[in-house]
Structure 1
Amino acid sequence: MKSFGSFRRKFAPWNDPAAKPYISFENIVKKFDDVTVIDDLSLNIFNREFFALLGASGSGKSTLMRMLAGFEEPTSGRIMLDGQDLRGIPPYKRPVNMMFQSYALFPHMTVEQNIAFGLKQDGMAKSEITDRVNDMLKLVKLEKFSKRKPHQLSGGQRQRVALARAVAKRPKVLLLDEPLGALDKKLREETQFELMDLQMNLGLTFLIVTHDQEEAMTMADRIAVLDKGQIMQVATPAEVYEAPSSKFVADFIGNINIIEGEVSHFANGEAEIESAANSVTIRTKTAKQLSKGQKVWYAIRPEKITLSREKPEDASINALQGELWDIAYFGDMNVFHVRLANGRTIKASSMNSVRRTDDPLGYDEQVWVSFEDDAGMVLVS
């Protein structure tokens, strides 16, 4: 089976104006009674893309997936898959398959029988079924467990059986609805990489629904961040994290500090922002066009911040003083909460790159928070 590992690293059809989308949601509206859950949403997904729909409960992500699967129909708009309009096509005739969080395995069937079930329903020849099931067992590394039943397997093994059954029919698109939610943290992290490898090896289009930011950031080529039935941003994980399009996206993805202020100077891609509430002047580089007096928000990730006892050389720019209020130790990193004079908190973090520190920062110390002029981003909405 051909690997698409090197292919994935160069994979960015969304940047090619000539590339045709594989899946298109076109002006989709979905209402349940008088409640609009999807509001005039349009989205393109490309062949062999690992795409994530990310949002909180009620954002519309699962409804969008269910419409693609055929379990719901749009109130208006259309969904195209590989050039075919899916309206009116029942779920069992759509070239998609779905893997649910519950796995939905048949308890009275063995692993190989579970994997073979859909193939038998399609009337595939017995010899072909045997070959396909063996291929799937090898793919998910469960050859030795083929005769076991689901209750004799671990959670991770059941998850792989469900995955093998879902891809055995070789759908054009595999839909994954919170597929790793039932796994413990360590196993979930391991399975994320297994899913990535599997998707690349199969060359299929994967669409995952999740509320787990880390899961989406780890696995997806691109992420659509949803809120109240609308798309807030579609971008690669790095772009969503480093260049969020709005305060909502910035605050939803990872940890971030957001400082409200007013532009006091802007020229040649450099701005100065005055934050009266925090008694700080922020000097930053930005590609946005700003005007003097404009209200903006400066967003900076905790890992971009430097903590020190010593006062920075130029404490009038990009520096705040406060009291070290909370410290959280996570093994690989430390997270610090610094309480400012106005009562607000700035979060900073640092990696534990050495085993021990001779003079670590402690609770209630007066510290300085500082950052470079290219460390954060300016948001206008």
Structure 2
Amino acid sequence: MQSLGSIRRDFAPWADPEVRPYIVFENVTKRFGDFTAVNNLSLSIYEREFFALLGASGCGKSTLLRMLAGFDDPTAGRILLDGQDLRGIPPYRRPVNMMFQSYALFPHMTVEQNVAFGLKQEGMAKPEIAQRVAEMLKLVKLTQFAKRKPHQLSGGQRQRVALARSVAKRPKVLLLDEPLGALDKKLREETQFELMDLQQNLGLTFVIVTHDQEEAMTMADRIAILEKGEVMQVATPAEIYEAPGSRYVASFVGNINMFEGTLARHDGNGTEIRLADGMVIRSESGANVPAGTQVAFAIRPEKIAVSSRPPADGLNAAEGEIYDIAYLGDMTVYNVRLANGQMVKTTSLNASRVVQDPLTWHDRAWISFRPDAGVILTR
């Protein structure tokens, strides 16, 4: 089987039917009055998985996290953790811990006192607390800041204190609700890799809620795309990006071009899609629907070439006009308007300092792509 995207690591318990899921949402519904936040949702998460709940505001992702933590109860359905039904178990009795976006550090306590707080509440002996706190501060690289108070730390350092406090009690599952939202872009990117390393070192199950696609794609083993309280697709980042299951998922994650048309032919030689303007797209992507079905051919901008000349084979090519250009340093984005009025976004990697085929505004240009570059969507 051909893999999609880069190989992340040799970890895929969801592909083994013998492995039992660690967290199970079983037909879970949550209503707040007349509003349904989560609608008959079923989802499985595996032990030691870094799992992301991704979606727009109001899609139900934080509600799922709160129900798992015990702050809200399902209206219907049940939630299992390691085979145990969590209904009726209060938050402080659950083997989970939650890290909030606000961090919620105690301003009058030092770093080490903040990390030790939960351990003291559990009645752990002082020598054990001291040892555990030292371990946690070393893990998040804050040993030298142990005596400082939160206001004396940077945003990234406060985030790591909150993280150390969350994992100090060694929960089975760590829940992260938009944990990097308060950080600037560069620090957020650095912290993403720190979180990945920490999760690997601790061997814990991480469940993160985020609306940041790049964040989910970077850190998660798998991603659940949510919309209006329902799961649209659960897959690895590469599968979500390269093989989205619907128009919604394709449009939500990254940039995408959609060519709407009719499936004209599907056989051993591939698939042909006929567009309204007569253009025929040849694709190696399969489609389990009969000829005559309305479908969409979805293709990412980086998989479309743009040139001042048509491709030699004339395959999957269309002529248009350069409408907009954005130079981003590492790449250049071209918006090409085709004869039928459709705008197509393409990106070209600036691998050389010399531009071989310069294009500018209002130039005539050709777009083209390979038969294996896109995916056919039927819903």
Report deviation, 1:358.
5.2
2:160 aligned with 1:150: no
Residues 27 and 41, structure 1, Cα contact 8 Å, conserved in 2? yes
Report deviation, 1:287.
2.8
Equivalent residue for 2:295?
A: 296
Amino acid at match of 2:137: L
Distance 2:249 2:357 in 1: 37
Report deviation, 1:326.
0.9
Equivalent residue for 1:163?
A: 163
Amino acid at match of 2:9: R
Equivalent residue for 2:332?
A: 334
Report deviation, 1:359.
4.8
Equivalent residue for 1:3?
A: none
Amino acid at match of 1:291: P
Amino acid at match of 2:111: V
Deviates more, 1:235-244 or 1:305-314: 305-314
Calculate the TM-score normalised by the size of structure 1. Answer: 0.96
2:219 aligned with 1:197: no
Distance 1:49 1:68 in 2: 16
Identity between Structure 1 and Structure 2 (%)? 68
Residues 28 and 78, structure 1, Cα contact 8 Å, conserved in 2? yes
Calculate the TM-score normalised by the size of structure 2. Answer: 0.96
Residues 286 and 358 of structure 1: is their aligned pair in 2 closer, same or farther, counting only changes over 3 Å?
A: closer
Residues 269 and 287, structure 1, Cα contact 8 Å, conserved in 2? no
Aligned length, in residue pairs: 372
Distance 2:136 2:293 in 1: 58
Residues 49 and 221, structure 2, Cα contact 8 Å, conserved in 1? yes
Amino acid at match of 1:237: P
Equivalent of 2:349, from 348, 351, 356? 351
Residues 56 and 144 of structure 1: is their aligned pair in 2 closer, same or farther, counting only changes over 3 Å?
A: same
Residues 269 and 286, structure 1, Cα contact 8 Å, conserved in 2? no
Distance 2:273 2:164 in 1: 54
2:243 aligned with 1:243: yes
Distance 1:99 1:333 in 2: 36
Report deviation, 1:353.
1.0
Amino acid at match of 2:175: L
Report deviation, 1:153.
0.4
Equivalent residue for 2:87?
A: 87
Distance 2:377 2:45 in 1: 27
Superposition misfits of 4+ residues, deviation over 4 angstroms: none
SS in 2 for 1:28: strand
Equivalent residue for 1:322?
A: 320
Residues 119 and 169, structure 2, Cα contact 8 Å, conserved in 1? yes
How do residues 59-70 of structure 1 correspond to structure 2 at under 5 angstroms?
Answer: 59-70=59-70
How do residues 171-182 of structure 1 correspond to structure 2 at under 5 angstroms?
Answer: 171-182=171-182
Residues 243 and 359 of structure 1: is their aligned pair in 2 closer, same or farther, counting only changes over 3 Å?
A: closer
Equivalent residue for 2:375?
A: 377
- What's the Cα RMSD here? 1.1
Deviates more, 1:131-140 or 1:321-330: 321-330
Equivalent residue for 2:4?
A: none
Report deviation, 1:360.
2.3
Report deviation, 1:343.
2.1
Residues 285 and 374, structure 2, Cα contact 8 Å, conserved in 1? no
Distance 2:268 2:301 in 1: 27
SS in 2 for 1:174: strand
Report deviation, 1:269.
5.9
Residues 238 and 139 of structure 1: is their aligned pair in 2 closer, same or farther, counting only changes over 3 Å?
A: same
Amino acid at match of 1:333: M
